Structure 1
Amino acid sequence: MPQANRMYSVVIGAVNGKFSDVFAKLATLHAKQNFAFAIIAGDLCAKSDIATDADREELAKLLRGEITVPLSTYFALGRQPLPDEVVDLLEKGHGELCSNLSILGRKVSMKTADGFWIVAVGGAHSASIDQSMSQYAAEYTNDDAQAAGKGLTNADIVVTSDWPAHVQDGTKNRYTGTPPPSVDSIANLCTSLKPRYHFSASEAFYEREPFFHNGPSPRSVTRFISLAPYGNTAKAKWIYAFSLEPAVDASKHLPPGCTASPLTGGKKRKLESQESDFNSFRYANGNGTDHYRPDQRRQKRSRNNPPPIPNQCYFCLSNPSCEKHMIGSIGAEVYLTVAKGPLSTHQTFPELGFPGHVLMIPYEHQPTMSAISDAATRQATVTEVQRYRDALQRMLVEKTKGEDGRAKLGAVTWEISRHSGVHFHWQFLPVPVDMVQRGLVEAGFDKEAENLNYPKFVKGFKEMQEIEEGNFFKVMIWSEALRKEMVMPLDGDFRFDLQFGRRVLGKLMGLAQRTHWKDCAQTVAEETADVEAFKKGFKEFDFSFEE
């Protein structure tokens, strides 16, 4: 990316009345870096109940113009009330306290001289406030948070006194101590504006891994950083320099360690309520049942009960109930999760260290790959889901090589593609390589289709292409020495078992009792352990870490 327009700025935690020291240090840094502007994310003034005579004299010197503020600096309305004399000057000066020092206020959006949009919500959260109070009163409501970003679809920087709710979900970086209050309306603000940086202040320094927001590619990425106060005894970071380029599009590549946005996550569902909360459509490709029958009666019911929209679909990251703790890798167009209620167990493939049943899920909320309307996005999704399958297969080779140098495992990938479906995805499962080489996997699918009076699988390239223009079930069988694909048309008037792929492989591997995912439920702790083991095993093959 070109760097010609990139500008450096700096953010500071709570100053707490130490104006001379902080602005002197800022002047030294500014002389070297030529910052575009500075932001004070925490309290500017000392707390009134513990302010010393020296603190009061410092404030008087600042207000008299005897302390130089070296560059344009915007200070947040912190959680502590401002001194009366400060409020008086702000009201008279329309938000300017002294030369180069202006307040961001309780609810504000502004554009800097360099073209950066800053949105701020200051003060402590309150259910309601007296609207006749000063605009510089250190309180805000949910309505204030909503109003701050009104009319904007994005921002470069968001500054808030409170943290967004759930910001510590799905992260390995935990805050030490008691974090500031976290508020849903602040999370909603961040989700709505998708800022490049979200700054706050706290008693200790905290930086979360960057997270991406749901939406079309390239996806907006936010970095959440909370600064410690100046002069803190732990010597935690109180100042942070960062760079931005105005009016630049989001990068096509997600930064290393990036996670899905935690801000849409709600409370985790309890294990006992999984069946009703998840419904079958998430793990059975379904319509609320475990079978698919494309007849007139089924279509009539579908019209009465339309398929879930993205914020209701459990494969869409914008759904508040999406279980992000199960995500194992995040690509540009596709993400991987460990399977809910996996068919295989830890004992099935002990050399892997995890069950191995994985889902590859595109971000696009479409029932089939062909339904993705944008041609570039469709091709990018096809390319990436195939790239993920190749990476998973390479992992199996490297982790299961025998003394002869050959892998002990092959794999089966299957998909159900239906125009009346919900959210297209592939399922991936390792299998003993002997089952692939001896043709047992292929024969197992053929035989089970025959037993259920399903249409025969088609295996010729041209015939498969024709069938894939409609509704179909596809199986991709792989080993180091063999590749095989087979497709079953689903356009006929018959009742198709959406657990068909699991059913066949379960019988082949002696796991028939685990055919349905609902019979294999795990606790959140077990699921989390599985995904961490998968990440560790897949890391060297995971191209999403590449720049």
Structure 2
Amino acid sequence: MSEKQKTLICGDVNGNFNILFSRVESIVKKSGAFDVLLCVGNFFGDDNSQLDAYRMRTRTVPVTTYVFGPSNSDHVNFYCEEGSEIAPNIIYMGKRGIFTTSADVKIAYLTGLSRRELGKDIPMCTFEPSDCSAVRDACFRGQSEYRGVDVLITTLWPAGIQQDETQKIDVEQDCLSDLIAWLAIHVKPRYHFVPSKEKFYERQPYRNQSIHQDYREGATRFIGLAPVGNKSKEKWIYACSLQPVTKMRMTDLLQATTDETPCPYDAEMLKQHQPGKVVKFTGNGQFFFNMDAQDDDSGKRKRKSGDNPERKRKEIDQDSCWFCLASPSVEKHLVICVGTHCYLALAKGPLVPYHVLILPIAHHQSVTKAPDEVIAEIKQFKSALKQFYSSLDKLVVFFERNFKTTHMQIQCVPVPRASSLQLLEVFQDEAGINSIQMEVLPPYADMKQVTLPGAPYFHAELPSGEQIYAKTPKHFPLQFGRDVLSSGPILNCEDKSDWRQCLLSKDEEDSYVASFREKFKPFDFTVDADSDSD
């Protein structure tokens, strides 16, 4: 495999599929095969009839094509499920995320329009500050030394990029976004592509900022591509050979060019998104929230000197607990089945469709504080789930985080059998990155003998039978278990590491629950328990 990935990028296609793929085919004949084609902006248009020939295979797509979006509400129904093919060799990637190609090129994307700028929400076509956070976090995940990403694709232009002294560029105000500027200065792409409504625009490279004044960062090339087949004959397709940023020599990555310019964004944005803070951006009055640190900050504000935090932790209002089954706050439609002491429920924002939780019916904080009869039924649920997942040709990882939680939750996540040998290594790598001291416990180790009741910990049970245990430090990452399992070697869905970023609609949740309940019937020991109680 070549060290560089030959890449084509185009602007708004707008349904002009024949023009696009004919041009790509001629480029391939002239310059040799290309690895990928990235479609920036609107792929569909008012008339999409040309796509029928590609779906029927009477015409072929010459290069594997990735489509993002949508950003037009009229086109929503044209898109398929994320990761599926719109037509042979045309793959829909969704509106946000990051993926790594077979050549190790990292491509991050956040498409659509800002809901805060529009003042309204258009399903699938808008993004929020939390989407920016999710993409940024996915770019950083798993990297002890962050160099940047190879490509960033956005629909909106980053505010400030138009302030170019070398050439005049007219960009409509509603195409500019402070949030995209924030994302760009944080993820440091080598190339940033956007669709341009009329003209082609290539800015001189700018040097990225660092929070350390004596540290030099790589440079970014910003390119706006005109619509495919535009009448003005403005450039709408761009070709480049990308060597992955992770494989570049630092001397090459940091090499300056004669036309290089300073970063067009305010360096203060690098300091924004501090733990627990709400940051107001200048310009369009947008706000950015660090949702992960909300508990930390609110806890510090409310705690007074002399308070006993352990005493307050015990004063739980069970009526407001999300997980006590008798509580009016529990989302009953997520419940799959109920035993004598525990119940099974669909996880909120599941990593995969069969990701569920084992929870005690009554209020117990953790496994280490639960009565023996609850522990016994948890083991029954685990045994039943192992058999169930095995029938789907899957293995299962169980994990519990007793840190900043009040009601015990055991996450049950099915994983591919092929990932079994990598699970322990990925857990250990993620622990190392986060400076977490992790121990591997022998099979059948009892958590009540490992740690004191009520002490915070993270615990996972792997398909091999090995158990992972870690005392949680003060700044333990709340999504640690999901970070590991969503990573490329395991489930390869890194944009789902935070459950709040992949919430389902109630209809989707109902569908997931019904499907799980039906397929779980042969393994559901609670049916007998239900009939005994009737």
TM-score interval, normalised by the smaller of the two chains: 0.3 to 0.5
TM-score of the superposed pair, with normalisation by structure 2: 0.44
TM-score of the superposed pair, with normalisation by structure 1: 0.43
Radius of gyration: which is bigger? 1
